[in-house]
Amino acid sequence: MVTLAEVAQHAGVSASTVSYVLSGKRSISANTRQRVERSIRELGYHPNAGARALASSKSNIIALMVPLRTDMYVPVMMEIAIAVATSARAHGYDVLLLTGEEGPDAVRRVAGSGIADGMILMDVELDDERLPLLRETDQPSVLIGLPADTSGLTCVDLDFRATGALCVEHLAKQGHQDIAVIGEAPAVYERHTGFAERTLEGLRSRSRELGVRLLHRPCEGGYDAMAVTLARILDERPGTSGLIVQNESAVEPLLALLRQQGRAVPEDVSVVAICPDQVAMQASVRLTSVAIPAQEMGRHAVDHLVAKLDGRGSDEVVLIAPELTVRGSTGPAPSRS
């Protein structure tokens, strides 16, 4: 292993000079800098992470806590995680992957051991048990998701309230009067995951404002569950002409069922999905959808965390504005017979 001291010797300078060349924290003559850089290259020097962390009290690591559960749409989580890792690298940080398994203890461990300079929490619940700890420690952090009480916290999320409103608006504008929402799995609501409830709020309040009728049914996802849910919806509200789906694993089954029942999309029934663009575009019908901007969320989270670590940055809630893309799955409501 090649050390800073060896580089210094090879370049004929002192250790501190090499250190300063690396950090750029004081001016170095062009000549010296070049000699040092050359030595670094020739010897294949890499600063030792542990030593650096010890001396500087900075690990250049960001901890990312992902949920252990898999009842949420996994590709979105993965996309966020990868976006976080990629953005972090761009800022010179590595990412430590923590699973939800340790729960709140992970927060204690990370903060206590100084293994990471800050942390990003995904899949935050409305009343998340990790938050009290987070507020106690001075560990800078950013949440992806919105808890009930955001005081003293920095949060990044899609504006799900606006998302719900946007979906209803789009359908109402096309004349749909009876709209049904196929939601996430019941467990998601029971856990009081913020995004699911906020979407629902947006859906409800906007439909009240616009005077359209709204029915919401959670759905486990998969073909069988979707079949039951759809049957129940059409039974209760036979006039339903607009569907909003917020559960990726229900999308394709829903389309298959509608096809099977001879209901044409969008002639008989319009479908709006809340899902990643990829899902909307790969489905058997090009879906009008509001995208989940996974990459953007990951990137924002890192940017804000890095800002905090640099002493800039403040506690704030960043809600990303939803965007609805019209594709082939929505159209005018069929005339009432």
Partner DNA sequence: GTGAAAGCGCTAACAG
Partner DNA sequence: CTGTTAGCGCTTTCAC
Residues found near DNA in the complex (CB under 7 A): 1, 3-5, 12-17, 19-20, 22-23, 25-29, 31-33, 45, 47-48, 51-52, 54-57
Strand partners, 61: 94
| 234 is a contact residue toward a copy of itself (CB under 8 A) | no
What stretches of the chain adopt beta strand conformation (E)? 61-66, 94-99, 118-121, 141-144, 155-158, 178-182, 213-217, 242-245, 270-274, 288-290, 317-320, 324-325
Which tokens belong to 219? 């759905």
Given a copy of itself, DNA, none, residue 231, with its beta carbon under 5 to 8 Å by kind, binds none
Among 9, 48, 150, 177, the residue binding a copy of itself under the rule CB under 8 A is: 48
| 99 is a contact residue toward a copy of itself (CB under 8 A) | yes
Which tokens belong to 29? 């003559």
Query: What is the arrangement of strands in the sheet containing 324-325, beginning at the earlier edge strand?
Result: 213-217, 178-182, 242-245, 270-274, 288-290, 324-325
Given DNA, a copy of itself, none, residue 223, with its beta carbon under 5 to 8 Å by kind, binds a copy of itself
Residue type present at position 79: E
Among 17, 19, 39, 59, the residue binding a copy of itself under the rule CB under 8 A is: 59
| Cα distances (angstroms) measured from residue 18 to each of 5, 55, 91 | 8, 15, 22
- Least Å distance, CB 22 to DNA, is 5
**Rounded Cα–Cα distance for residues 25 and 17 (Å):** 10
Given a copy of itself, DNA, none, residue 31, with its beta carbon under 5 to 8 Å by kind, binds DNA
Give me the residues that bind a copy of itself (CB under 8 A), please. 1, 44-54, 59, 61, 64, 66, 68, 70, 74-75, 77-79, 81-82, 85-86, 89, 94-99, 101-102, 108-109, 111-115, 221-223, 249, 252-253, 255-256, 259-260, 278, 281-284
